[in-house]
Amino acid sequence: MTKVVDLYFKLLKLLIVLCMIAMIVLVFGNVVLRYAFNSGISVSEELSRWFFVWMIFLGALVALKDRAHLGMDSLVKRLPPTGKRICLVIGHLLMLYICWLIFSGSWQQAAINLHVVAPASGLSMALFYGAGLVFGASAAPILLYELYLALFGKLGDDELVMVKDNDAEVITHNPITPDPTKSARP
């Protein structure tokens, strides 16, 4: 099962890269055509916006799986393990509710806009709202699995705080303001 999950997230990362490349090509190509040849690609702005939305939702999924979202852990990391577990469970239940809201709202919008075509590309607007469907359907199992691990004690005490600290060292003083204990004169 882990191979399938890893393959799925490799596919998501590839799609993120392809969305970024498509955005760069469309926007840069459109700029060059407008300024150099006084013409343009009419579908460029619309498709680049769609690629951006898809890239953000897919990137949020990858960040959720890798626990790479930003967070404040200054209070939670000081709690005892039971308090950390309670905060994790409450946080995951809230995130599951938000996933449901995104999924159900995207489903309704996709159904409403199924036969509505985008002005420039002529594609169904349901494709635009599909990003929310993919996000909601993919984020919920990740959150449910982590919730299961938390509820049944399968997470260590160090894993109960799901914010990664990427800073190698903590700056103890402001580098812009000089240290008052050191003299500026020799």
What is the per-residue pLDDT for 56? 96
What is the per-residue pLDDT for 172? 46
Over residues 82-91, mean pLDDT: 90
Structural domain includes residue 171: no
Structural domain includes residue 157: no
pLDDT in tens, 113-124: 999 999 888 899
The rounded distance, in Å, linking the Cα atoms of 154 and 34 is 58
Structural domain includes residue 140: yes
The rounded distance, in Å, linking the Cα atoms of 81 and 144 is 20
The identity of residue 160, as a single letter, is L
Structural domain includes residue 162: no
Residue of 142, 144, 116, 120 whose CA lies nearest to 129: 116
Domain that holds residue 117: 1-152
Q: How far is CA 130 from each of CA 16, 72, 95, 109, 135, rounded to the nearest angstrom?
A: 15, 31, 19, 9, 9
What is the per-residue pLDDT for 156? 81
Over residues 121-144, mean pLDDT: 94
What is the per-residue pLDDT for 37? 87
Over residues 156-184, mean pLDDT: 57
Structural domain includes residue 104: yes
Structural domain includes residue 38: yes
pLDDT in tens, 13-30: 999 999 999 999 999 999
Structural domain includes residue 146: yes
Q: Grade residue 58 by pLDDT with cuts at 50, 70 and 90.
A: very high
The rounded distance, in Å, linking the Cα atoms of 75 and 110 is 40
Structural domain includes residue 183: no
Q: In the chain, pLDDT over 90 holds for what percent of residues?
A: 56
The number of folded domains in the chain is 1
What is the per-residue pLDDT for 174? 46
What is the per-residue pLDDT for 22? 95
